[in-house]
Structure 1
Amino acid sequence: MKYIAIAFIVLGALGCNNEDSINGDDLFDDGEYQEAIDAYSSYLSTHPDHKKSIYNRGRSYEEIGDLQKAIDDYKQLLELDPKYINAYLSLAKVSYNNHEYNKVLIYTGDAIDLNENLAQAHFLAGRAEHQLGYFDQALESYNNAITINRDFGEAYLYRGAVKVGQEKLRSACEDFKFAKSLDVPEADKAIKDYCK
């Protein structure tokens, strides 16, 4: 009887902790990022290797602008699981926003090595290559993203921008119009500016 009582106490404690992780997910979905961080941190205090909670806490830190803590969580996650693709993609996004384009190429390259069919990884690589002035490589990366996901509107938009730089306006306008058909807001301005 004593062992059954202990088992219920242990299971109850685990259940409460699991609620912290689930509550963190709900809080994140509601845009309550600081509260989500607190819930994930509480759960991680007893489950330090729970990958989903580490990743989601990193996303929460990213949302409140605490990028270093987000980066720390993503890197911790990769130490636990070097194949956690979303951590590479998140590090690539943070690096892009920090104008660290060479780092973007490293992280997207790692993600593509794990799964070459990641449209988002090819797209982010294209954005970084575009910023670095590697226009042919950017075009290839955008093409790869579109080949994988034909409805990737932003890839059409930015591929069109590369084509503008290459003075291929007719082809660029086709991309801008396709981006518009996929509800990319910036496509209207691109069409207005370049497509007469």
Structure 2
Amino acid sequence: MNLLFRPLVIALLCLLCLTGWSLPTWAQSDPADLSPQAVQEISDLRQKAFTASQTGQFNEAETYWSQLIDYLPDEAALWSNRGNVRVSQNKLAEALDDYNQAVALAPEQPDPYLNRGAALEGLGRWEDAIDDYSQVLALNPEDAAAYNNRGNAQAGLGHWEDALADYQTAADLDPKFAFARVNAALAQYQLGHADEAIRQFRSLTRRYPSFADARAALTAALWSEGMSGEAESNWVAVMGLDRRYKDLDWVSTVRRWPPAMVAALEKFLHL
């Protein structure tokens, strides 16, 4: 049986590490004509590949997945897994090739479309990413990750109403999906609904005190609304959790906050 990594948000696009790697299965078997020695080598390589992927040793993981593909070139999960670790190394073009192969081998499986969509986002191909996420939802209409990621791609196009609708659907499908909830609040802020965004940011920070993204957004929104004391208190917590939020370029281009939220944070940081 082949296992498939399915990060809800691939490392390049997420980086905030609230969710781990999960291991869904595709019911496929090793070819019967392999020798017992080869079967054992495949088993060992799989374990090494998973361990390296889960511990962030992406270059080693890529080598292991490549060796597995040499043994089992028709196994779509292996191509998709190698694509994931290539994305984690910012090898987006190579990852896209892997996902294309995975989709060709298993067009009925949603995960390669989800992962390919994330790689397409990394390349700024928003409409192609939306097509892939929509294909995931055609296969599984209750896939919260696909709704959240499609919201990200809609945001990339500046379609904030559509993005908000997708984020809210993702949060409704999975109430514990913190990223979908903070993304919905960020979209609310971009659309001019500051009070509602602040309410949601506060709710998230109460439920997830170590969620730096929500605290940083709350800081910026509160400062813009004149609540400087509460803003500064939250910022102290942010700096103890994740200092990347001092980097406006990272916030804008990697985390991809909406323009209005980036502008609010810029005002706070400059003061």
Paired residues for 1:73-112 under 5 Å: 73-112=132-171
The answer to whether the 8 Å contact 1:24/1:37 transfers is: yes
| 1:39-90 deviation digits (Å, cap 9, x = unpaired) | 2212221310222211111111111221211111001001100111111111
Secondary structure, counterpart of 2:73 in structure 1: helix
Tell me the equivalent position of 1:60. Answer: 119
Distance 1:75 1:88, change over 3 A: same
Tell me the equivalent position of 1:183. Answer: 242
Cα-Cα RMSD: 2.5
Give unpaired runs (5+ residues) of structure 2.
1-30, 35-68, 248-265
1:156 and 2:201 correspond? no
Count of residues in correspondence between the two structures: 187
The answer to whether the 8 Å contact 1:119/1:148 transfers is: no
Identity of aligned residues (%): 24
The answer to whether the 8 Å contact 1:111/1:121 transfers is: yes
Larger relative contact order (CA 8 Å, sep ≥ 6): 2
The answer to whether the 8 Å contact 1:93/1:104 transfers is: yes
The answer to whether the 8 Å contact 1:177/1:191 transfers is: no
The residue identity in structure 2 corresponding to 1:137 is E
Alignment partners' CA distance in 1, 2:213 and 2:105:
41
Give unpaired runs (5+ residues) of structure 1.
1-5
Tell me the equivalent position of 1:17. Answer: 74
Secondary structure, counterpart of 1:173 in structure 2: helix
Secondary structure, counterpart of 1:185 in structure 2: helix
The answer to whether the 8 Å contact 1:119/1:144 transfers is: no
Tell me the equivalent position of 1:169. Answer: 228
Distance 1:193 1:79, change over 3 A: same
TM-score when scaled to structure 2? 0.62
1:118 and 2:177 correspond? yes
The answer to whether the 8 Å contact 2:178/2:204 transfers is: yes
The answer to whether the 8 Å contact 1:74/1:91 transfers is: yes
Tell me the equivalent position of 2:88. Answer: 29
Alignment partners' CA distance in 1, 2:93 and 2:200:
35
The residue identity in structure 2 corresponding to 1:98 is L
Secondary structure, counterpart of 1:17 in structure 2: coil
Q: Which has the higher helix share?
A: 1
The answer to whether the 8 Å contact 1:17/1:42 transfers is: no
Secondary structure, counterpart of 2:216 in structure 1: helix
Alignment partners' CA distance in 1, 2:162 and 2:93:
27
Tell me the equivalent position of 2:16. Answer: none
Paired residues for 1:125-164 under 5 Å: 125-164=184-223
Distance 1:172 1:26, change over 3 A: closer
CA shift at 1:105, angstroms? 1.5
TM-score when scaled to structure 1? 0.84
Secondary structure, counterpart of 1:167 in structure 2: coil
